[in-house]
Structure 1
Amino acid sequence: MTRFAGVYVALVTPFTPDCEVDYKRLHELCDWLISQGVDGLVPSGSLGEYATLTNEERAKVIDTVIEAAEGRVPVVVGTAAPSTKQAADWVRYAREAGAAGVMALPPINYRPLEHEVVAHFEAMNSVGLPIIAYNNPLDYKTDLTPDFLAKLSRLENVVAVKEFSGDVRRMLEILEKTNLEVMVGVDNLTLEGAMVGATGWIAGVPNALPKEGVELFNLSRAGKLEEAMALYRRLLPLFRFDASPQLVQSIKYMMELAGFPVGPTRAPRLPLPDAEYEAIRQAYQHAVGGK
């Protein structure tokens, strides 16, 4: 049985103009995404600016998303934190709040040794909630290679991986060497990942274009290459912004273009140069031009 199949949106965190968390807008965003057919919601990740939230804000974001979902779709909570104890505590909080699972990075503050990474995941595993290991060697110090994931997959609750290395061949190797579900981790490999066996996608741009994201992933999973490619060509210029360090500002601007504004980003993320916004606007128009 696949636990985390389909399109799970890595949620942005809406803010008011003075950069307070807008919980009402977050609830509305969850309702809208579910109405558009997404399969799951992922709060408290990098795209949700978790590192800028207080513990109280982060807990209320998680509670708001689970309350808004009302059991209609699963909620998977991001648990990244500076210490192993803090990460395990967020897994525990997610379990008690009613989450279906968590998305978990290795230690994020430095380049850990292998046994430290294993111990980090063992601590989270002991809580008893399904874990999607998050491999992002581009932004963090650890690369969860297929061979390393084979070791981590021996932990009973490590059941999936969000693969963000940017190499679609990794997905095939993970499927060959482990029993983990593979979830596409970067939007501009959605079609390729689905076609090589990824059963899920933790998505960024579908915050703004959820219906199109769901359609693309389903077409790709079904092997309907001609239809999938036509849609992918429209969306790909927009998807490339998901692989940029400025993905949060970019995706929040896409949501404004889509008629669902969610406010600014919190410092240290500041507004982008005008040329960047113009490039996003052009890519957005290309994406929706077929409508």
Structure 2
Amino acid sequence: MTRFAGVYVAVVTPFTNDFAVDYKRLHELCDWLVSQGVHGLVPSGSLGEYATLTNEERAKVIDTVIQAAAGRVPVVVGSAAPSTQQATAWVRYAKEAGAAGVMALPPINYKPLEHEVIAHYEALNSVGLPIIAYNNPHDYKTDLTPDFLAKLSRLEHVVAVKEFSGDVRRMHEILEKTDLEVMVGVDNLAMEGPLIGATGWIAGVPNALPKQGVELFELARAGKLEEALPLYRRLLPLFHYDASPQLVQSIKYMMELTGFPVGPTRAPRLPLPEAEYAAIREAYQYAVGGK
């Protein structure tokens, strides 16, 4: 049985104009995403600006998302933190709050040795909550290669991987060498991934366009390439922003264009140059209008 099938939106954290967490808006966002057909929610990830939140804010964000989901869809909590002890505490918190699993990066502060990465995941595994290992070698020092994932998959609760390397060939190799579920980790592989066996997608741009994201993924999973390809090509210019370091500002602006504003980003993320917003507007208009 696939535990984390379908489109799981990595939920942004709404802020008020004075940069306070807007929990009411977060609840509304989650309710809207579920109503639009997404299959799961992922709070307190990098797109959710977890690193800018206090512990109290982060805990309340997690609680708010779980309460808003109300059992209708699973919630997978981002557990990244500077130390293994802190990350394990967030896994424990997620379990007690009722989460279905966690999305877990390897150690993030420096380039760890292999046995340190394994020990990190062993500590998370000890909590007893299903783990989606998060491979993001672009932003962090560790590359969870297919061979490395084969070792991690021996841990009882490591059941899936969010694959963010950007190389679709990795997905083939992971599926061949492990029994892990593969979740697409970057939006601009949202068609290729499910076509070759990925069963889930932890998505960014579907914060703004959830229906389109779900439709695309389901078409690709069904192998309906002729129907999926035109939709994918319309969405692809927007999807590329999910692979950019400025993904949070970009996706929050897309949500403003959708008519679901969620406020600013917290520093060090600042507003983008106007030329960037103009390019996002153009890509958004193409995505929704097909012209």
C-alpha distance in 2 between matches for 1:170 and 1:191: 15
Per-residue CA deviations over 1:110-158 (Å, capped at 9, x if unaligned) read 0000000000000000000000000000000000000000000000000
C-alpha distance in 2 between matches for 1:280 and 1:58: 29
Alignment of 1:242-281 (within 5 A): 242-281=242-281
C-alpha distance in 1 between matches for 2:210 and 2:57: 25
Q: Provide the residue aligned with 1:61 in structure 2.
A: 61
Q: Provide the residue aligned with 1:108 in structure 2.
A: 108
Which amino acid is the alignment partner of residue 163 of structure 1? E
Q: Provide the residue aligned with 2:124 in structure 1.
A: 124
Q: Provide the residue aligned with 2:77 in structure 1.
A: 77
C-alpha distance in 2 between matches for 1:168 and 1:195: 10
Alignment of 1:82-97 (within 5 A): 82-97=82-97
Q: Provide the residue aligned with 1:49 in structure 2.
A: 49
Q: Provide the residue aligned with 2:155 in structure 1.
A: 155
- Measured after TM superposition, the shift of residue 93 of structure 1 is 0.1
- Measured after TM superposition, the shift of residue 290 of structure 1 is 4.0
Per-residue CA deviations over 1:262-281 (Å, capped at 9, x if unaligned) read 00000000000000000000
Q: Provide the residue aligned with 1:218 in structure 2.
A: 218
Q: Provide the residue aligned with 1:17 in structure 2.
A: 17
Per-residue CA deviations over 1:201-252 (Å, capped at 9, x if unaligned) read 0000000000000000000000000110010010000000000000000000
C-alpha distance in 2 between matches for 1:153 and 1:223: 28
**What secondary structure sits across from 1:129 in the alignment?**
coil
Q: Provide the residue aligned with 2:165 in structure 1.
A: 165
C-alpha distance in 2 between matches for 1:113 and 1:145: 14
C-alpha distance in 1 between matches for 2:18 and 2:5: 37
List, as ranges, runs of 4+ consecutive aligned residues in structure 1 with deviation greater than 3 Å.
none
> Is 1:237 paired with 2:237?
yes
Q: Percent identity?
A: 87
Long gaps (5+) in structure 2: none
**Residues matched between the structures, number:** 291
Q: Provide the residue aligned with 1:207 in structure 2.
A: 207
Long gaps (5+) in structure 1: none
**What do you get for the CA RMSD once the two structures are aligned?**
0.7
**What secondary structure sits across from 2:191 in the alignment?**
helix
C-alpha distance in 1 between matches for 2:92 and 2:241: 33
